[in-house]
Structure 1
């Protein structure tokens, strides 16, 4: 049975990815820092409480995967929203915390997945970025910078690992319905002197399809990118966002 590892897979996009890969016949492995979320996952999923930005934690996860027989697909999905503030008001510690999870988390997962996939001569790496990695994003400097950076990382992985039969691609979600976006909406509303609904409507109207996306839309793309149907798709940045035209509702 093919095996997938999803970082930050206990909820939201990560959980939807797990459900998508399980439906496609994969053995699902999930890491997360949320112990309660892990306990709520299907009983046949293999779970590890781990911080994606901790090398010690990720070494332990990959030691278990190696003992289980290797890895076919990595979904480097861990991320945090970071602060919502003007750049001059962002504390260095908050910048570092945001970049650590979003960028170093993807790096560590790829670092330890690569040898396993090289040994197998095949594999798929899917990294979750954001439309914030394709546009400038006012008041979200740490998040935007990290999400741009993971695109460069993934394109480099595609070049390094392609000769070994390994593909690497980026998914850029737009605004995704769910609890995480609610926190973003509230913080942006406070920062911009708007209501939550005004920010929500601004995001939705900034897409040509006029709506947010669902976590399952992101999961469907991850499963496709890891399938034989996408066997020559690598180094690509694919937005699943209803076509974002304007990521800032006040512009």
Structure 2
């Protein structure tokens, strides 16, 4: 199926590993031109040939300005922004969380998306097929005990997405959010390990409990997320905007 993605100019944040790397690879496979960033210089160095990149902290507005300038110089414009960057944030009861950890989680998971959007939108307005995809989470649909900073940030992403979709609709810019659930990979393992430690339980027990809240009793793969993002940014996704799309094996609740 030709998605009409070939030639799109795409900026993906945090593309050196995990979900971000899968998103980058999926766009490249469809013929898009991609620029990305990450804090992991070694990971960036192993990206597919032709992918532009630079080391950048997306919570730093000066670094984001340099990133957008670099992407525009390399790509000659912009059609797609994928706000993928995020961190797990601290695990613990609200009265135990270090305020600095709270601030850092919101800066990376939420404010970074504002940092990128405010600079990208003037260029997206010139595109014939413009879209923004923001990574939220199943935590943006449910309360998430012991991870209040992350849940708060991901709820905020949905509010940002809905607002931007209304604001930018007349310019033809689509804005959607993807809400992953349990995603296979090192990051999810670290989250579950932290939860197991905070509860004095084994990793296997916590993992099986997490699976029990999904209908398919399994992880989502990074490629499944990437495929949905490709569709939203494609010619076939032109009618979809303002949506918070769960990709979480029908997760019903989080504990």
TM-score, normalised with respect to structure 2: 0.95
Q: CA deviation at 1:111?
A: 1.0
Equivalent in the alignment of 2:21:
15
Equivalent in the alignment of 1:213:
220
Q: CA deviation at 1:150?
A: 0.6
Q: What whole-Å deviation, never above 9, does each CA across 1:32-53 have from its counterpart, x for those lacking one? A: 0111111121121111111111
Is the 8 Å Cα contact of residues 205 and 211 (structure 1) preserved in structure 2? no
Matched, 1:84 2:91: yes
Distance 1:121 1:151 in 2: 25
Equivalent in the alignment of 1:196:
203
Matched, 1:51 2:61: no
Q: CA deviation at 1:121?
A: 5.2
Equivalent in the alignment of 2:149:
142
Equivalent in the alignment of 1:132:
139
Distance 2:207 2:237 in 1: 34
Alignment gaps of 5+ in structure 2: 1-6
Equivalent in the alignment of 2:12:
6
SS at match of 1:82: coil
The 5 A counterparts of 1:29-40 are 29-40=35-46
SS at match of 1:120: coil
| Aligned pairs, number | 248
Q: What whole-Å deviation, never above 9, does each CA across 1:90-119 have from its counterpart, x for those lacking one? A: 111010010000001111111111010113
Distance 1:112 1:47 in 2: 17
Determine which of 25, 36, 53 is the counterpart of 2:31: 25
Q: What whole-Å deviation, never above 9, does each CA across 1:185-211 have from its counterpart, x for those lacking one? A: 110001112111111111112101111
Distance 1:48 1:95 in 2: 26
SS at match of 2:89: coil
Is the 8 Å Cα contact of residues 129 and 235 (structure 2) preserved in structure 1? no
Equivalent in the alignment of 2:166:
159
Distance 1:210 1:182 in 2: 16
Q: What whole-Å deviation, never above 9, does each CA across 1:69-107 have from its counterpart, x for those lacking one? A: 211111100000000000011111010010000001111
Q: CA deviation at 1:241?
A: 0.7
Q: Displaced runs of 4+ in structure 1, greater than 6 A?
A: none
Alignment gaps of 5+ in structure 1: none
Equivalent in the alignment of 2:114:
107
SS at match of 1:41: coil
SS at match of 1:119: coil
Distance 1:198 1:126 in 2: 34
Is the 8 Å Cα contact of residues 22 and 226 (structure 2) preserved in structure 1? yes
Is the 8 Å Cα contact of residues 81 and 98 (structure 1) preserved in structure 2? yes
